[in-house]
Amino acid sequence: MDTSATMNKELRDATVNRKKRPGYRCLGKQRDGNYAIMVGAVTGTVDGDQLMKLSAIVKKYAAGGHFTTAQSMVIVGIKKENFNDAKQAVIEAGFDIRSIGRDVRQVKCCAGANLSPFGLQKTPPLGQELEEMFRGLPTPMKFKISVSGCPNCCANTMLNDFGIHGMMNGWKIFIGGKMGTKPAIAQELARLVLTDDVSRYLAAVLRVYKENAEQDERLSKTLSRIGFVTFKSEVEAKLDTPFDDLIKEAKNARETAEKSTCIEHIKEQL
Ligand code: SF4
């Protein structure tokens, strides 16, 4: 079996540049010269009608699909001239278009106590709430969130910028995790947090991160640079700060993303 591949440096560098641009960026050109769309379903949950619609979109516009590790479906093999029609069809089918840019990404969510025998908390309601509040918010670097229903952490709680797992009486919150070439394990920020208070913690973490991070700096680096204890005390000082402004900024960013003919950004860079 030969698994070797030749690097397409121009495409790789262009993709890296797109990922580092502020705010939303759609998945772009692929190695085969066609385009791809990253389709997201909130909390990774879909119903039969949505699956049927997605199947029709793939048949009409694409060569196939690939499930990512972040609970997205990448529709691949889309011809350039079909890109915007395919994107619109995905949105009209009730899915969101996911980003590879510098913003709050989708909430990765395990099955939780609705389904899993091990679950200590139900994950989809909270995952959906956090996603509706914050997904799309522009951040200094990508910002990933995960929700696991118990300490088994199947949604990789400790490898996300903001990860939580269920306990008997609330949630444990970790911050500063990441994957990549230099992975970082998240550190515990708080425990026994009530469900209704998780969004307050997330808003405060996002605010402190946005205020303190340097350009292109992932949260793990910000924590290393200014110190976890300092960051944590700033978060705790902001827990009662209203965060309607963050919710509004995220909503505006999502609306802009849905309207954007993001293939134009791709044309600029390739
Ligand atoms: S993290 Fe716990 S609740 Fe979630 S899928 Fe894994 S075992 Fe089940």
Ligand 1 near 141 CB (within 6 A): no
pLDDT class of 212 with cuts at 50, 70, 90: very high
Ligand 1 near 104 CB (within 6 A): no
Atom of ligand 1 nearest to the CA of 111: 5
Percent share of the chain, pLDDT over 90: 70
* 1 falls within a domain: no
Q: For residue 194, what is the domain's CATH number?
A: 3.30.413.10
Q: Are 58 and 64 contacting, i.e. CB atoms less than 8 angstroms apart?
A: yes
The pairing of beta strand 162-167 with beta strand 72-78: unpaired
Q: For residue 60, what is the domain's CATH number?
A: 3.30.70.3340
| Mean pLDDT of all residues in 116-123 | 97
Write out the DSSP string of 83-145.
HHHHHHHHHHTT-EE-B-SBBEEEEEE--GGGT-TT-SS--HHHHHHHHHHHTT-B-SS-EEE
Atom of ligand 1 nearest to the CA of 149: 3
Q: Which residue has the higher pLDDT, 111 or 14?
A: 111
pTM (2 d.p.)? 0.92
Ligand 1 near 121 CB (within 6 A): no
Atom of ligand 1 nearest to the CA of 121: 3
Find the domain containing 116 and state its range: 104-250
Residues 175-206: tens digit of each pLDDT: 999 999 999 999 999 999 999 999 999 999 99
Give me the pLDDT at residue 261, please.
Answer: 63
Same domain, 198 and 232: yes
Residues 73-107: tens digit of each pLDDT: 999 999 989 988 998 899 899 898 887 888 999 99
CA-based torsion, 112, 198, 133, 228: positive or negative:
negative
Give me the pLDDT at residue 256, please.
Answer: 84
Beta bridge partners of 29: 35
* 30 falls within a domain: yes
Give me the pLDDT at residue 23, please.
Answer: 66
Same domain, 109 and 242: yes
Same domain, 180 and 77: no
Same domain, 45 and 163: no
Ligand 1 near 149 CB (within 6 A): yes
Q: Which residue has the higher pLDDT, 118 or 69?
A: 118
CA-based torsion, 10, 11, 15, 16: positive or negative:
negative
Q: How far is the CA of 87 from the centre of ligand 1 (A)?
A: 32
Give me the pLDDT at residue 264, please.
Answer: 58
Distance of CA 154 to the CA centre of its chain: 16
Ligand 1 near 150 CB (within 6 A): yes
Give me the pLDDT at residue 269, please.
Answer: 46
pLDDT above 90 for 59 = yes
How far is residue 116's CA from residue 110's CA, in Å, rounded to a whole number? 9
Residues 140-169: tens digit of each pLDDT: 999 999 999 999 999 999 999 999 999 999
Nearest CA to ligand 1 atom 8: 116
Ligand 1 near 111 CB (within 6 A): yes
pLDDT above 70 for 262 = no
Q: Which of 63, 98, 133 is the last residue of a domain?
A: 98
Q: Which residues contact 228 (CB under 8 A, 6 or more apart)?
A: 176, 187
Q: Which DSSP symbol is given to 159? A: G
Q: How far is the CA of 125 from the centre of ligand 1 (A)?
A: 15
- Which segment of 59-63, 68-72, 152-156, 163-167 scores lowest on mean pLDDT? 68-72
Percent share of the chain, pLDDT over 70: 95
Ligand 1 near 42 CB (within 6 A): no
| Mean pLDDT of all residues in 43-60 | 94
* 270 falls within a domain: no
Q: How far is the CA of 177 from the centre of ligand 1 (A)?
A: 19
* 268 falls within a domain: no
Quote the number of domains for the chain. Answer: 2
pLDDT above 50 for 252 = yes
Same domain, 80 and 148: no
How far is residue 185's CA from residue 117's CA, in Å, rounded to a whole number? 26
Give me the pLDDT at residue 208, please.
Answer: 98
SS3 content of the chain, % helix, strand, coil (to 5): 45, 20, 35
